[in-house]
Amino acid sequence: MGGTFDPIHYGHLLAAEEARINLGIDRLIFVPTGDPPYKRAQKIASAEDRYAMTLLATAGVTEYSVSRIEIDRTEETHTVDTLQEFIKSGINPEDLYFITGLDAMLSITSWYEFEKIPELCTLVTARRPGYSVRGIEKLPDFIKDKLKYIEIPQFAISSTEIRERIRNKRGIRFLVPHLVEIYIESNNLYLF
Ligand code: ATP
Ligand code: MG
């Protein structure tokens, strides 16, 4: 599962875990993005802070790990390159699933070399509050053919809202794992 994870929250964890259970995935890799050009203007936490929070959120769950693959890449990072690198490392495309929320999947046709993505993995997309599943109908057939849609308990939270709450001095307890909350506080993240 890729994401900016700025910061990681229970919406991400719930979507990832539901996908894992639904599809019988045995290893779940969280892939925080490097410095995505399209988010640069609003990006607040460094890649290292986002990576650290993702580690804290997933620590202790045997099936979970966090990859530095996009953070350590100096060039622009794209999902297609990351999938290709996982395949190069020995993972069979039939065994590779890319998990997103519905909002992300509905924008797939704007991703770099998106035409190649369905050959590299199965796409899994989880319902997300505020986005209609009917949007999937409009995606090209070659994407729909490799797409699995899953219904999950709806958790209407985003990283944007969490950052806003922190700026407005509202609490974020129960929206992110406790250790992530402590990390944000101790490092004075998202205050301005
Ligand atoms: P931002 O508000 O900064 O865009 P975000 O909450 O959307 O943050 P991202 O890091 O952009 O988080 O998303 C990573 C992935 O997690 C995307 O595929 C997104 O669709 C999915 N996702 C995020 N929040 C939820 C949620 N509440 N329910 C289901 N999927 C989610
Ligand atoms: Mg988002």
β-pair partners for 66: 30
Give the number of other Cβ atoms within 10 Å of residue 170's Cβ: 11
Q: How many residues does the chain have?
A: 192
pLDDT digits (tens, 9 = 90+) for 144-155: 999 999 999 999
Task: Give the nearest ligand 1 atom to 100 CA.
Answer: 18
Query: What is the spatial distance between Cα 33 and Cα 89, in angstroms, rounded to a whole number?
Result: 19
- Whose structure tokens read 């039939």? 94
Mutate to test the pocket of ligand 1, among 103, 107, 108, 180 (most ligand atoms within 8 A of CB): 103
Closest CA to 8 of 25, 37, 33, 39: 33
Ligand 1 pocket, mutate which of 12, 164, 166 (most atoms under 8 A from CB):
12
- Whose tokens are 């069979």? That residue is 92
159 is written with which tokens? 């990283």
pLDDT at 38: 59
pLDDT of the chain along its 192 residues, tens only?
Answer: 999 999 999 999 999 999 999 999 999 999 999 975 655 556 689 999 999 999 999 999 999 999 999 999 988 889 999 999 999 999 999 999 999 999 999 999 999 999 999 999 999 999 999 999 999 999 999 999 999 999 999 999 999 999 999 999 999 999 999 999 999 999 999 998
Q: Which amino acid is at 99?
A: I
Find the helix or strand (DSSP H, E) in which 48 lies.
helix 47-58
Atom index in ligand 1 nearest the CA of residue 158 equals 6
